[in-house]
Amino acid sequence: MNFKSIIFLLTASVLTSCVVVSPGTVGVKNKLGKLDNKVIQPGIVGLNPLITRVITVPTRTVNLEVRLNLPSKEGLNVLAEISILYHIEAIQAPNVIQTVGENYEQVMILSVFRSAAADVCSRYMAKDMHSGQRAEIEAAIRNHMDSLLIDRGFVIESVLMKSISLPPGLYDAIESKLEAEQIAQRMEFELEQERLEAKRKKIEAEGTRDAQKVLAEGLTDEIIKWRSLEVFEKLSNSPNAKLIFTDGSAPMLLNEDLK
């Protein structure tokens, strides 16, 4: 065996006895079927490849996409595409591998998701999954999943309903209902405007009536005589000739100018 062969074998031996744990993951050593409780941080790890391997677990955010039928409150099946964003707590990585296994997505994440999604969506109408209540449904599913998985080392960050396919005919029904609601809201607005206008006219009429009442109550005989004297005084100061008939209490002007 020449020198180059020895160097090659030594290099190959060194390379095969090292494993790189990528950023965003942690490693757990499995030596002869026994897990090490020590969490291996990202970097190069030395090991004996004949008896030891390193199982990597993601601590970064993982996007798990699911396509399934969700039940609605009225018994319809709604096809949905949903993204589950989750990560595993680094310190819990050995426990996840020990209690759940490397197939944790199928065993835990998806199983819990299907149960939580069916439970939550069965409380909502199909149209709600396609309306402004979608965010409420997403939050309810996430909270349900998180309550079941947080103690197992899984953190559910978000549940996102990316697309919803409603049963045939339901889209038209929803659009018709929304259109009817808009018409009803417009009519209610117009009726409210009419009520406000009627109220304004009523208040205006009551004000006019009250003003006339006050004026009528204030026109006593003494005030009328006093106002008549004021009128006579103004007429006496007028340069034009006037023909006036009066009983002494109120003047009556017949013609404005006599020449």
Both 189 and 94 in one domain: the answer is no
Same domain for 95 and 41: no
73: left (phi over 0), alpha (psi -120 to 50) or beta: alpha
Q: In terms of domains, do 21 and 89 share one? A: no
Is residue 47 located within the same domain as residue 107? no
One-letter amino acid of 217: E
Whether residue 203 is contained in a domain is answered as yes
Q: Say whether both 49 and 76 belong to one domain.
A: no
pLDDT tens profile 96-126: 888 888 889 999 999 999 999 999 989 988 8
Among residues of the chain, what percentage have pLDDT more than 90? 19
pLDDT at 255 over 70: no
- Determine the average pLDDT of the residues in 5-13: 45
Summarised one tens digit per residue, pLDDT across range 13-25 is: 444 567 777 888 8
Q: Are residues 84 and 39 in the same domain?
A: no
Q: Where are the beta strands (DSSP E) in 15-153?
A: 18-21, 25-31, 34-35, 43-46, 52-58, 62-71, 77-88
Whether the model clears a pTM of 0.75, i.e. scores above it, the answer is: no
Q: Considering its fold, how many domains does the chain have in total?
A: 4
Q: Where does a domain end: 147, 167, 187?
A: 167
For residue 132, the model assigns a pLDDT of 74
Q: For the residues of 135-151, what is the DSSP string, one character each?
A: HHHHHHHHHHHHHHHGG
Residue 131 lies in a domain: yes
Instruction: Say whether both 173 and 163 belong to one domain.
Output: no
Could you report the per-residue pLDDT of 130-180, keeping only the tens digit for each?
777 888 999 999 999 998 998 889 999 999 988 887 766 655 665 566 567
pLDDT value, residue 33: 76
**pLDDT tier, 181 (very low <50, low <70, confident <90, very high otherwise):** confident
How far is it, in rounded angstroms, from Cα 43 to Cα 41? Answer: 6
Asked whether residue 185 falls in the same domain as residue 155, the answer is: no
What domain range includes position 71? 62-167
- Whole-number Å distance between alpha carbons of 218 and 224: 10
Coil, helix or strand for 238?
A: coil
Instruction: Let me know if residue 187 belongs to a domain.
Output: yes
Q: Which region holds residue 211: left if phi is over 0, alpha if psi is between -120 and 50, else beta?
A: alpha
Q: Is 3 among the domain residues?
A: no
Confidence of residue 259 (pLDDT cuts 50, 70, 90): very low
pLDDT reported for residue 142: 94
